[in-house]
A and B are shown apart, each in its own frame.
Chain A
Amino acid sequence: AQKVTQAQTEISVVEKEDVTLDCVYETRDTTYYLFWYKQPPSGELVFLIRRNSFDEQNEISGRYSWNFQKSTSSFNFTITASQVVDSAVYFCALSEAGRDDKIIFGKGTRLHILP
């Protein structure tokens, strides 16, 4: 069965610091998809990135970067030079390409960026 673990429940950093959010996943499928979503204090869920299991290239989007390592079953998210607006709950999610069409989320990491 698929599983997503976000071991960091809550993180606080001072503005402009870099911060990494960890995501470890479990799956039996060889083809699968990983996602990150952001939930700001307003409550909506905002898509950040998706990655399929055949693409291990790291991705950078502005201050955001993602490190996908199949060897450790991890898909970590780094925010560089954090800003107060980055304060939110961040969720990692997993979807398998097999017959099961579930999308399973981790418990989320609440990130506080302190001014």
Chain B
Amino acid sequence: NAGVTQTPKFRVLKTGQSMTLLCAQDMNHEYMYWYRQDPGMGLRLIHYSVGEGTTAKGEVPDGYNVSRLKKQNFLLGLESAAPSQTSVYFCASRDGHPKDEKLFFGSGTQLSVL
């Protein structure tokens, strides 16, 4: 049982380059989330989705776009990477029914923007 899988695990970008982070879950979860983790800042919500075809902004959405074309996948895009986007990115999913269901996390993506 794979759970939540993030690809890639590591990536180095130059300023201005674009990339897409892929999150895939095999638990048929409705809700998916993208967080970034920075030292001293904890986990901050970037965008989230409550179902296929829906997305919503989180706490720090600027500079990122997302898509949820298929229920099992949640893509996070950086159109023009900036050094401030250097971070560890975590994807998570949960069933959402009931709403106290816990999050299942991926193993993270370490992104460095030079």
The interface size of chain B toward A, counting residues with CB under 8 Å, comes to 26
Residues of A within 8 A of B105 (CB): 44-45
Stretch at the interface among B20-28, B62-70, B96-104: B96-104
Give the contacting residue for A104; candidates B50, B56, B59, B107; CB below 8 A: B59
Give the contacting residue for A33; candidates B59, B99, B107, B108; CB below 8 A: B99
Residues of A within 8 A of B35 (CB): 105
CB of A82 within 8 Å of the partner chain: no
The interface size of chain A toward B, counting residues with CB under 8 Å, comes to 23
Stretch at the interface among B10-18, B40-48, B74-82: B40-48
Residues of A within 8 A of B58 (CB): 102
Residues of B within 8 A of A101 (CB): 31, 48, 50, 56, 96, 99
Measured in the bound complex, the distance between the Cα atoms of B108 and A101 in whole Å is 22
A6 (CB) vs chain B CBs: closest residue: B42
- 30 residue pairs of the A-B complex, CB under 8 angstroms, read A6-B42, A35-B102, A35-B103, A37-B103, A43-B107, A43-B108, A44-B105, A44-B107, A44-B108, A45-B103, A45-B105, A47-B102, A50-B100, A50-B102, A91-B43, A93-B43, A95-B99, A95-B100, A101-B31, A101-B48, A101-B50, A102-B48, A102-B58, A104-B45, A104-B59, A105-B42, A105-B44, A107-B41, A107-B42, A108-B42
